[in-house]
Structure 1
Amino acid sequence: MKKSIKTILIIIVSFGVYFILDDKYFKSLRDLIFDFTNQFGVSHILTYSISGIPLIMGTLIINKKSGFLKGLGLNGSIFRGFLFALICTLPMYIGFSFIFDFNTDISINAILISVVAASFFEEIFFRGFLFGLIYRKTNLGFIPSVFFGAMYFGILHLYQSTELLELLGIFSITFLGGILFAWVFTEWKFNIWVPIFIHALMNFSWELFSVSENALGGVYSNIFRFSTMGLIIGLTVLLKKKNGLKLSVNKSNLLKSNSLKK
């Protein structure tokens, strides 16, 4: 119990420092780096790398024995993560290609910011650190471990609109996405590359085609998006059953777990 409390305090302090520094200095630091790189997307990625230092330090403190990479799930199979994500996002690419026009205005900055940086850093920060370390290193169950991160993940996307109904829709879809990414991260033995590539390929489909100006989308875009989400869940469950494995997230550990997860 004492170890769990200590771990939670380290996570709160680390994420709190990250949040304050990110909120106050991200834009000014990015502008400073841009003066040297003269490339906005690269500057965005470098700034994310620097702003995440408090989380890296927190991970190293909590995961002394097994190290930084294992602590955040970065030691998992990159190829397996990409292959699974590619299969699962095919409905979005195939469906969007029939319904929407190809985005001729797509830029390298959009790809670096919305695809590369958003998927990699958001999954590392929210799923690997904020959810993963709480769930794996404390006795808290899945629901309390995932709730705050999913809430913050949803709030993070509210800049995309000012209309109340759109804001509610954007929050709901990104909140659910945060829970799904945490679930698939857990079921794939804490291989962070699985949610990273799912996130990246879903975002890239949004950029590659003229789907929507925000994360909510319309009827057709959500039909294909929910098809992808259903495929993520369905294939994960089928692969578990095929290999004779039980689901890692079940009724016994939704609220509390008596043993730490690996």
Structure 2
Amino acid sequence: MSKNIRFFFIFVLGFTAYYFLDFFCFKIVQNFSKNIFHSKALAHVISYSVTLIPLMITLNILFPKRNIADLFSLNKPIIKGFTLAFTGTLPMLIGYLIHFKIISKINFEALFINTLSSAFFEEIIFRAFLIGIFYRFTRLGFLSSALFGSLLFAQVHLYQSQDITELMEIFAITFLGSLFFAWVYFESEYNLWTAIFLHFFMNLYWEIFTVSENVSGNFYGNLYKLFSIVAITFIIIYTKRKNKIPFEITWKSLFIKTREVQS
């Protein structure tokens, strides 16, 4: 078995194990943990942590000499990621303060689950593992690496509605959002904390203001989200050009990379 075939075989096998563990066991572990600790938020974290085990085993097999924090890109500066994400999402915060009201009653456990917990684990699973490992350690380019992960990311958000039109909107928004988060992750020097906090702040503002019941949103909700996307894109491009840092995603790395991959 060649090195490339072995890599893809182990990778696909590991993600398949994760997928079925998540599908069949997530709710079971969540309910079991909730009954023990009487905390829905803690149960959510425990369930995600358990389903991550196959991914960590997979990475340990593929890269036995590298630590998990490095492979999940969690060893990068947290403050730098936080600052970039917070600054970039200020248009959402300001716009929502102008056009929407803060919800009257906040369920803090639900807020934690829908913001910090979901952002942290989804970025690890989809951006760092499913998209990031392909892009960092194979010859696959940005779109080639991100296509399947982004399609799957969009698919797991379709529970939010039963309306066909809204489902199409949710799928398109989350698919494009996944591509954007992946781009931010790669262009911020593989700092997953940037994507995590960007995901967190976008979810947070959507949750604490009376914007919409699902991600399809409305005119002002999506308008200020778009402003934030433009803002963080501008900040990243401006910073890299100012510091003369080469861009990670170019025409030469869009589909198949022509340069050496990481080792």
Q: Same fold (TM over 0.5)?
A: yes
Q: Deviations over 1:46-83 (max 9, x none)?
A: 11111111011112222222211111101100000000
**What does 1:205-216 align with in structure 2 at a 5 Å threshold?**
205-216=205-216
1:160 aligns with 2:160: yes
| Residues 72, 128 of structure 1: 8 Å contact kept | yes
Amino acid at match of 2:198: I
Give 5+ residue unaligned stretches, structure 1: none
Q: Deviations over 1:168-204 (max 9, x none)?
A: 1001110011001111111111111010000001100
| Residues 86, 198 of structure 1: 8 Å contact kept | yes
Cα distance in 2 between the residues matched to 1:209 and 1:144: 36
Cα distance in 2 between the residues matched to 1:116 and 1:201: 9
| Residues 42, 112 of structure 1: 8 Å contact kept | no
2:29 corresponds to: 29
| Residues 59, 71 of structure 1: 8 Å contact kept | yes
Cα distance in 2 between the residues matched to 1:25 and 1:149: 21
The range that moved more, 56-65 or 140-149, is 56-65
Cα distance in 2 between the residues matched to 1:9 and 1:196: 28
Give 5+ residue unaligned stretches, structure 2: none
Cα distance in 1 between the residues matched to 2:107 and 2:62: 39
1:173 corresponds to: 173
**What does 1:1-262 align with in structure 2 at a 5 Å threshold?**
2-258=2-258, 259-261=260-262
Q: TM-score of the superposition, structure 1-length normalised?
A: 0.97
Cα distance in 2 between the residues matched to 1:62 and 1:94: 45
| Residues 138, 260 of structure 1: 8 Å contact kept | yes
| Residues 85, 201 of structure 1: 8 Å contact kept | yes
Cα distance in 1 between the residues matched to 2:54 and 2:22: 10
| Residues 11, 58 of structure 1: 8 Å contact kept | yes
Cα distance in 1 between the residues matched to 2:231 and 2:59: 32
| Residues 110, 207 of structure 1: 8 Å contact kept | no
The range that moved more, 159-168 or 63-72, is 63-72
Amino acid at match of 1:3: K
Amino acid at match of 2:63: N
Name the count of aligned residue pairs: 262
Q: TM-score of the superposition, structure 2-length normalised?
A: 0.96
| Residues 74, 192 of structure 1: 8 Å contact kept | yes
Q: Deviations over 1:156-179 (max 9, x none)?
A: 100000111100100111001100
Cα distance in 1 between the residues matched to 2:57 and 2:76: 21
Shift of 1:94: 0.6
Cα distance in 2 between the residues matched to 1:9 and 1:231: 39
Cα distance in 1 between the residues matched to 2:3 and 2:223: 44
Change (3 A) 1:213 1:53: same
Shift of 1:207: 1.1
Percent identity, aligned pairs only?
36
RMSD over equivalenced CA pairs, Å:
1.3
Amino acid at match of 1:69: A
SS for the counterpart of 1:252 is helix
